[in-house]
Amino acid sequence: MSQHKQPTPTSGGVPVTDDLVNQLADEAEAGYDVEALRRRGGRPLMGSGPADVVPVRLDPALRAALTRRAEADNRTASDVIRDALRAWLHAA
């Protein structure tokens, strides 16, 4: 008994077929104009360029206080940390 499996769709719902794969491969081999590519979503820039991720270890009490403050202000923990760091450094 053979089962006919439907092609897996792309995020836009288009089925990924051999024809589509060949078409996309041909486009890629021809090269892309990087300036013409549409910018996708993602995180907005913070300041003049991409932001760095800086891991920080917090003890449980400090983490709980951060979580409470972020929830009370309806903000993310990262927003609260950035604002606190800016205030401490007196940076704009």
pLDDT in tens, 40-52: 667 777 777 778 8
pLDDT in tens, 69-90: 999 999 999 999 999 999 999 8
- Which of the 8 DSSP states describes residue 13? S
pTM of the model: 0.52
Instruction: Quote the pLDDT of residue 51.
Output: 83
Looking at the domain assignment, is residue 69 inside a domain? yes
Return phi, psi of residue 14, to 5°: -80, 130
Q: Whats the size of the chain, residue-wise?
A: 92
Overall number of domains in the chain: 1
Looking at the domain assignment, is residue 66 inside a domain? yes
Domain enclosing residue 81, as ranges: 60-89
Using CA atoms, how far residue 16 sits from 12, 37, 82, in Å, is 11, 21, 43
For residues 80 and 17, which has the higher predicted lDDT (pLDDT)? 80
